[in-house]
Amino acid sequence: MRNTSQTFHPRRACILIAAFGVGILILTLASLAQSAAASAAPVAAQQLDAAACLACHSKPGFTLPLPSGETLLLSIDSQAFEASVHGAQAVGCTSCHTDITAFPHPALIAENLRDVAVKMYTTCQQCHSEQYNKTLDSVHQRALAAGNTNAAICTDCHNPHTQTRITDPDTGQILPDARLHIPTTCARCHSAIYDQYTTSVHGAALTEENNLDVPTCIDCHGVHSIANPTTTTFRTNSPLICAKCHTDPTIMDQYGISTRVVNTYVADFHGTTITLFEKTHPDQATNKPVCFDCHGVHNIQKADDPIYGIAMKENLLVACQRCHPDARPISRIPG
């Protein structure tokens, strides 16, 4: 009978064992590589909610050195953020920080602190397009476009991590607390003007008495579409700014102030000329006085103030002599 059992070949067996071992090694290395890649894979942006971000960014003293030698603070007060309008509406961090798509974050390309702010502020237009578009024709934006990086941008007035609600969601009116803080916001850049304002009849009433009837910066200059107040057009139209309050009996009657002041001004030679220019050539200069030439701008005092009030005969003469150096005292002040 024929023996059908196969002959054993030691050399072939060694080759098969070696090949099997190599296969196991390759599979093991591939598995390890896949595991390492998975552990190093970036966290997707949608997973970076506020809680995930604050796990690092709520730590005190979290900073980043910049090439300028300045230090960028990366710490966020979690309680202040939760109390802010963004926190209350659950606006996610990556809604504003759109360049943060994963962790670790991409390198920040910025020379100094101002460079960081200027590169970031345009993200505000994603939600606040109406306000952002208004700023494009403002005196601030024009200065920025001309190369003045110190010109005010959104985040100079509104800290996105702490900004509380400004307007009533039902009426759209500015909330009382927000109105009280308008001058201190502007003072971050215009501190000298703020110092004058706080000593004026308007500013003292607001800052010392919390009187919300008096004008703040935005009542005269606007909010996002702030015009250049040094232009001829602004000067010519300035009586209309004053008239918004001084012809309103609901305000003036409370303080015993006549609402006829604008009418008497317009009826006068000075006011008639200004009105004519305002209606026909608002961009052409005139040497006729407007309200703030006599009353002041940010340092307006009560008319009966003994030192500056122009209801006092001596003070009125000084005011008139600014344009009419030969003016002499009059026997009485016309009513």
pLDDT digits (tens, 9 = 90+) for 153-200: 999 999 999 999 999 999 999 999 999 999 999 999 999 999 999 999
Can you give the three-state secondary structure of the chain, one letter per residue? CCCCCCCCCHHHHHHHHHHHHHHHHHHHHHHHHHHHHHHHCCCCHHHCCHHHHHHHHCCCCCEEECCCCCEEECCCCHHHHHHCHHHHCCCCHHHHCCCCCCCCCCCCCCCCHHHHHHHHHHHHHHCCHHHHHHHCCCHHHHHHHCCCCCCCCHHHHCCCCCCCCCECCCCCCECHHHHHCHHHHHCCCCHHHHHHHHCCHHHHHHHHHCCCCCCCHHHHHCCCCCCCCCCHHHHHHHHHHHHHHHCCHHHHHHHCCCCCHHHHHHHCHHHHHHHHHHHHCCCCCCCCCCHHHHHCCCCCCCCCCCCCCCCCHHHHHHHHHCCCCCCCCCCCCCC
pLDDT in tens, 272-301: 777 777 777 777 777 788 989 889 999 999
User: 47-51, 115-119, 275-279, 308-312: which has the highest mean pLDDT?
Assistant: 115-119
Give the per-residue pLDDT at 12.
56
pLDDT tops 50 at residue 222:
yes
* Mean pLDDT, the chain, integer: 85
- The first and second tokens of residue 255, run together, are 């303080």
Most confident by average pLDDT, 14-18, 207-211, 257-261, 267-271: 207-211
- Quick one: average pLDDT of 68-84? 96
User: Most confidently modeled of 29-43, 179-193, 231-245?
Assistant: 179-193
- Mean predicted confidence (pLDDT) in 24-29: 52
> How high is the pLDDT of residue 2?
45
Longest dimension (CA), the chain: 154
Backbone angles phi, psi at 72, to 5 degrees: -90, 120
Higher pLDDT, 120 or 326: 120
pLDDT at residue 45, as a whole number: 44
Higher pLDDT, 262 or 180: 180
